[in-house]
Amino acid sequence: MMPFRLSTRGHYAVLVMYELAKAGGSYSSLQDISAYWSLSQGYLEQIVRPLREAGLVEGKRGFGGGYTLAKDASEITVGEIVRTVEGPVVPVQCVADDLHPERCPDDCRAKAVWQKVGQAIDHVLDSITLADLIREDFPSTPTSKGDRSRD
């Protein structure tokens, strides 16, 4: 039930990055963020780890430490965040690897549907930056980079 669902990993990752973007240059601890959103701190730690390894956030240990964005909020898209913690957007497995190597390519045109869906999802995710998210008027008046010709 409920197709094309995003797991909590991607969901929470965007939430954390959104909070870091709001905090500007200062460091925010996962303890604060997890308490605010009533989430498990340990779970958030697991989720933030790949974001750090991908160079999207910087961690600072010890008292007064926490996380902060490693790049400007306008240079981090929601798509980067989601794909970093969840992997590529591939709605149906057969698009990546061929489940039925003989028949699939010639026979099954449905494959093109799933490819289109994946591209549409990526397009939306890549068109929204963290800077967009923290804009007062989002989503009513999008501005900066990204293609929003079809909004």
Question: For DNA, which stretch binds (CB under 7 A), given 64-72, 114-122, 125-133, 136-144?
Answer: 64-72
SS3 at position 129: strand
Among 61, 88, 140, 141, binds DNA (CB under 7 A): 61
Residue of 62, 82, 83, 81 lying closest to 70 (CA atoms): 81
Q: Which does 66 bind (CB under 5 to 8 A by kind): DNA, a copy of itself, none?
A: DNA
H or E stretch covering 41 = helix 41-53
Q: Tell which one of 29, 43, 114, 126 touches a copy of itself (CB under 8 A).
A: 114
In the structure encoding, which two tokens stand for residue 62, read together? 């010890």
> Is residue 15 at the binding interface for a copy of itself, with CB under 8 A as the rule?
yes
Calculate ∠ Cα 20-41-64, nearest 5°: 55
Q: How far apart are the C-alpha atoms of 26 and 7, rounded to whole Å?
A: 28
By CB under 8 A, name the binding residues for a copy of itself.
Answer: 1-7, 10-11, 14-15, 18, 36-38, 78, 82-83, 86-94, 100, 103, 108-110, 112-114, 116-118, 120-121, 123-125, 128, 133-134, 138-139
